[in-house]
Chains A and B, each alone.
Chain A
Amino acid sequence: MTARIGVITFPGTLDDRDTQRAVRTAGLEAVPLWHRDKDLKQVDAVILPGGFSYGDYLRAGAISRFSPVMESVIDQAKAGMPVLGICNGFQVLTETHLLPGAMLRNNHLHFICRDQKLRVENAETAWTRSYEQGQEINIPLKNIDGRYVADERVLDELEAEGRVVFRYEELNPNGSLRDIAGISNAAGNVVGLMPHPEHAVEPLIGTGRTDGLGFFTSILKRLVSA
C-alpha cells in the first residue's frame, strides 16, 4: 500500500488537479478531499493547493480557514501530520495561524506569472528532504497576494530556528520581507510557499524542468521513515 496524500478542493481552488497529478507522478496515491468534509479519509498528509478559494473575498484564504475540513487539518497538523500549503494554500495556513505572519497584495500591485528561482534554505522539513540545503530550484510563480509580512520579532525567530524554508533568488517578485518565499512551523511538518512545485513535475510543461517533484518525493521519504 502506498502513502495517501489528501488534496483539498475549496470553491475557487484551481490547482487541485495538477497537485493530484504531481502526487501520482511521485508514486503516491492522491485522495481528493472536499472542503465540507470533516473526515480526512485516513490520509497520511494533506496538501492545500493554489487558486482563489472563495474568490479571495475578505482576504486571501480567510473564508476557507473556517471550512469544516480545516478543523480536522488544524487538529492533525498540531498532532504532527505533514501539511503543505501552496500559494492560496499558504495563505490559508497563515490565516489559520498554523504558520505565522500574513500574506498581502504584491508591492507593485500587479498579478505576476513567471519562472522563479528559489534557494532551498532548509532541507530537513517533511516536504524538502529530497533537496539539499542551498540548492537552487526553478518553479513557476503566479499570484497577486504574495507579499509575506510578519513583525521583526517573528522574522528573527523564523531565521534563528531555520524556519525560512525558501528564499527568492535574483529577484524578489512581490516585496516579501527578507525575500521569504516559504516557511515552516516549529516542528517542520507544516510548510507553506507561494511558488508552485506542482507545475514543474514533468519536462513537457511549466519550466521544462522537474524541480518541483522533490516536494512530493520528500513526503514519501518522510512517511516511509516515520
Chain B
Amino acid sequence: MARVVVDVMLKPEILDPQGQAVQRALPRLGFEGIADVRQGKRFELEVEGPVDDAALARIHEIAETFLANTVIEDFSVKVEVGEGADASAVKAES
C-alpha cells in the first residue's frame, strides 16, 4: 500500500490566529528567532492498489472538494512510495 500525503494550509493572506498564538508562546519557552508560524493540516491516505495517474487524479479531487476549502486554503499532494523508500513528490497546488 502506498501512502499519499495531502497538506492543507490557510492561504497566505488569511489571518491565522492559531499560528500566531503558537508563535507568541515560543519566546516564553526560550525559543527565539521564529518570526512567524502558520498552522495547517496533514492527511495521510493509505491507498489500495497502484498510485497511478488515475488514482492521483482522484486524490486531487478529494483534496479539492473535501479535505481543503479552496476559498481559504491551499493544498499539496505528495506520494510516499513504500516503507522507508525515498518519497517521490508529485506536487499539485491549488
Q: Hey, which bits of chain A sit against chain B, CB under 8 A?
A: 58-59, 62, 66, 94-95, 100-102, 104-109, 147, 149-151, 175
A105 with B71: in contact, given A62-B66, A66-B66 (CB under 8 Å)? Answer: no
CA of A151 to CA of B14 in the docked complex: distance in angstroms?
Answer: 9
The reply to whether the CB of B87 lies closer than 8 angstroms to some CB of chain A is: no
Q: Is the interface of A mostly helix, strand, loop or mixed?
A: loop
B72–A105 contact, CB under 8 A?
Answer: no
Asked if B15 and A175 sit within 8 Å, CB to CB, the answer is yes
Number of A-B contacts (CB under 8 A): 34
The interface bits of chain B over 12-29 (1 if a CB of A lies within 8 angstroms of the residue's CB, else 0) are 011101100100000000
The number of chain B residues with a CB under 8 A from chain A is 12
Asked if residues A104 and B66 are in contact (CB atoms below 8 Å), the reply is no
A149 to B67, CA, bound (A): 19
A65 and chain B: residue at smallest CB distance: B66
- Measured CA separation A101–B67 after assembly (Å): 17
Given A58-B66, A62-B69, 7 new contacts (CB under 8 A):
A62-B66, A95-B69, A100-B71, A109-B17, A109-B21, A147-B15, A149-B72
Chain B residues 58-94 with CB under 8 Å of chain A are 66-67, 69, 71-72
